[in-house]
Structure 1
Amino acid sequence: METFFYTAIDQYGKKHQGSLESDSEKLVRQKLREKSLIPVTVKALESKSEKSQRFESHHKLSNKELSLLTRQLAILLKSGIPLAEVLRLLSQQTSNRKINTVALKLRSRLLEGQSLSQAINTLGKAFPPLYKATVTAGESSGKLSEVLNNLANYYEEKADIHQKIKLSLLYPVILTVVSIAVVISLLLFVIPEIVLVFEDLGQQLPEITRLLIALSDFLQANGLMIAMVILAAVLIAKLVLKIETVKLVYDAFVLQVPLIGNIIRVLNTSRFIRTLAILSSSKVETMNALLIASQVLSNLSMRQAVESASKQVREGSSLSNALAREQCFPDITTHLISSGESSGNLSEMLESTATYHEREVQAMTTTLVGIFEPLLILVMGGIVLVIVIAILLPIFEMNQLVA
């Protein structure tokens, strides 16, 4: 039995969309007609392995979608409804097409006799490694509903943090783009017009004005070439950084850069500890938890350090000592983890450490934006002031000559 998506219209011309399980497209159309619906399109949700592969590569769920799906799963499961029925209800209630598709695919796997973790693993990249490992641990411990609730909290917090950072950076980005556009417009369009006026008068121009005119002429003659060179440099840099050895050297160097290195270290630490916390609370083995959590690290140097720490844990080292030896995380992080190990409350201490670093990230973002905004205004204001002076100075000199 397959799941089919359908689009149909009723006798009043109202459009209806949904899904039905049946053995063939013909039977689906028949069922729709029995409901006084006229089928417009009927399409099988799953048929060939190629479709499954395309799903895996193009249907990765976002943090918001993962939190929504997981929260609904946790609530419905807690109420005692069978998992297959939960997924059916979820697919009917959601208006998100990707969540609907995932829910129906999972239900189809469950009806074939697979567990939820097995079903999730068949969907490839739709779910991240953290999700798969945590659900597997939840099934093993018999606390699937609780684990799903923790996962929902995790992805809700993650989506919320990303949203806050984006909103914090929105104004500075807009301000930067507008300021650069204004300066370029002045140089390309305003300055040339003013130059024509002064040339007609045959007036000797001040040094600052001549420099500005030279810059304007240079941009007019080479502006397109400069833009193409910058674009090519960015594309080449992206391609080169895909080479693992190059990226490793680059990431290690970036961590040593004052201020920028600290920001990157704190951001990665926040993600890593939060991921490790949820894996630990779900009773995932420490070595596996480290390897899974390392995948959220965008800095390759830090990721390799965690993988090295995982090997040390396998050889009998404590988590805090292994991470401390690698010297890639702030000292306070390893001290807090060590305290958690000593007290026997590692999961709780990881949660507290993750919360601490998340607040640190938010405070750092707020501080940087607070410094950047007035600094940008001063710099761009200074540039505009120089342009205005370069334009007005010849006018003042001309007025003095006339006087």
Structure 2
Amino acid sequence: MVSYRYKAMEPGKSPIDITIEADSEADSLSRLRSRGLIPIKAYGEAGAEKHSFRLKRKDLDACEFSDRLMPLLDANIPLEKCLAIIEQSVPEGSSRDVVRSMRRGLHEGKKFSELVRSQPQRFPAIYASLVETGEETGCLPETIRELRRFLNESRSLKEFIVTSSIYPVIVLGVTFIVVIMLFTVFIPRFARIFHDMGRELPAMTLVMLKAGEVFKTCWWVWPLLVAGIIIFARKLRQGGKLKNKWDKFILKIPLVGKLITAVQISRFVRTMAIMLKNHVHLLPAVKIGIRVIENRAIAGTFSKVTDELRGGSKLSAALNKSPYMPPGSIPMIRIAEESGSVGPMLEQIADEAERKLKVTIKRLLAMMEPVIILILAAIVLMVVISIFLAIMEMNAI
């Protein structure tokens, strides 16, 4: 048996955390309901959270919302009651206000998909489209389960990148601090000693002393640089021509461009796969897939795909016109079109793309660590050699 963790509550009582021993997730939900408990949130298999790192969120996002909603729907609780339970379980603030407004919308006769679509900051476009399909087919619980899996996979990839980057970023930060200390504290002290002696110093020592002087006198450059980066990042978020130029430029950077392309294409293919598997028509699935691509240069190459599909072209032929689509994926999609299994094939392509992406990121970060350490060692060695040469020169005289 496997242990499953839930946040659950009895009617009129406070939520509690509970672990259920069961053969499957469905069996665990059945055992939970037999105890008179209403599931609020599913954590998954007990112990799994120990092996992963998750960033805490202040607000209820689409992934967290799905984690809370899915077990309630599986317990055959009406949607309005589900939202009432979720409203009670989230802290006071904007998140509770959003859930409360969605409950109010259901009372007014609005569709759940309309209410989700009215919150674009919290729910991506794919969420509303799939919920609408689930409402039409009467398979809303299954749809929420698919969305939960999709969102958790996307979040897992982001957290993998963040977690893998922590150590290299720390090493880079320590390197930066050490270099600053060398050139602003250590070297200037030796500069005063050599200046008092009035000796002619070797060229390498003079270069190091000059660099230390520049670091100390031009300290104001660093705050300006940080401020410039912050302003630049805000401008990029606003979009416009700067965003277009930056997206084109970053794709030309070796390795970085390949990584960004892999991330964007993986999201694009994964979104189309989940849409098609849940009976969304091809054209809307492609449109929403293009909308999740954040890099405008890449998204622009797919802008004509919808026109090609309207003109009667197959998906494989339309996607083949983008230079960013992996060449090996096109024949696979073509075969899937003949067998009528495009959705599952796209999911396999996305799985393989994400697997390769994780391997590439691991290797890149593994390479960065020794490179940063070697750079730091080289700088320290140059400083030591320059001072040693100066001391040798003075002793010779």
The alignment's TM-score, normalised by the length of structure 1, stands at 0.78
1:329 counterpart SS class: coil
Q: Match for 1:167 among 155, 163, 167? A: 163
Give the equivalent residue in structure 1 for 2:5.
Answer: none
Q: Which amino acid aligns with 1:335?
A: P
Distance 1:368 1:212, change over 3 A: same
Give the equivalent residue in structure 2 for 1:347.
Answer: 343
Q: Distance in 2 between matches of 1:247 and 1:322?
A: 26
Q: Distance in 1 between matches of 2:142 and 2:95?
A: 21
Distance 1:349 1:231, change over 3 A: same
Give the equivalent residue in structure 2 for 1:322.
Answer: 318
1:369 counterpart SS class: helix
1:192 counterpart SS class: helix
Q: Distance in 2 between matches of 1:393 and 1:64?
A: 62
The sequence identity of aligned pairs, in percent, is: 29
Query: What is the deviation of 1:77?
Result: 1.2
Q: Which amino acid aligns with 1:197?
A: I
1:81 counterpart SS class: coil
When structure 1 is superposed on structure 2, of 122-131 and 233-242 the one drifting more is 233-242
1:203 counterpart SS class: coil
Q: Distance in 2 between matches of 1:121 and 1:237?
A: 28
Q: Distance in 2 between matches of 1:198 and 1:180?
A: 26
Give the equivalent residue in structure 2 for 1:155.
Answer: 151
Residues 180-195 of structure 1 aligned to structure 2 (within 5 Å): 180-195=176-191
Distance 1:112 1:240, change over 3 A: closer
Query: What is the deviation of 1:227?
Result: 4.7
Give the equivalent residue in structure 2 for 1:14.
Answer: none
Does the alignment pair 1:375 with 2:352? no
Q: Which amino acid aligns with 1:266?
A: A
Q: Distance in 2 between matches of 1:63 and 1:270?
A: 26
Distance 1:81 1:310, change over 3 A: same
Q: Distance in 1 between matches of 2:228 and 2:117?
A: 39
Does the alignment pair 1:284 with 2:283? no
Give the equivalent residue in structure 1 for 2:228.
Answer: 232
Size of the alignment, in residue pairs? Answer: 344
Does the alignment pair 1:299 with 2:305? no
Distance 1:240 1:263, change over 3 A: closer
What's the RMSD between the two structures over aligned residues?
A: 2.6
1:219-265 deviation per Cα after TM superposition (whole angstroms, max 9, x unaligned):
22223146525743773586379564454344334434432222121
Give the equivalent residue in structure 1 for 2:212.
Answer: 216
Give unmatched runs, 5+ long, in structure 2.
1-13, 16-56
1:110-135 deviation per Cα after TM superposition (whole angstroms, max 9, x unaligned):
11111211222233423121111111
When structure 1 is superposed on structure 2, of 356-365 and 125-134 the one drifting more is 125-134
Residues 37-52 of structure 1 aligned to structure 2 (within 5 Å): none
Residues 4-403 of structure 1 aligned to structure 2 (within 5 Å): 65-95=61-91, 97-225=93-221, 227-228=223-224, 231-232=227-228, 235=231, 239=235, 244-401=240-397
The structure with the largest alpha-carbon Rg is 1
Q: Distance in 2 between matches of 1:400 and 1:179?
A: 34
Q: Distance in 2 between matches of 1:167 and 1:360?
A: 17
1:89-140 deviation per Cα after TM superposition (whole angstroms, max 9, x unaligned):
1222345855433322211111111121122223342312111111111111
Query: What is the deviation of 1:369?
Result: 0.5
Distance 1:87 1:140, change over 3 A: same
Q: Distance in 2 between matches of 1:157 and 1:146?
A: 17
Distance 1:279 1:246, change over 3 A: same
1:125 counterpart SS class: coil
1:43-64 deviation per Cα after TM superposition (whole angstroms, max 9, x unaligned):
xxxxxxxxxxxxxxxxxx9998
When structure 1 is superposed on structure 2, of 389-398 and 290-299 the one drifting more is 389-398
Distance 1:216 1:256, change over 3 A: closer
1:286-314 deviation per Cα after TM superposition (whole angstroms, max 9, x unaligned):
11111211122121021122221111111
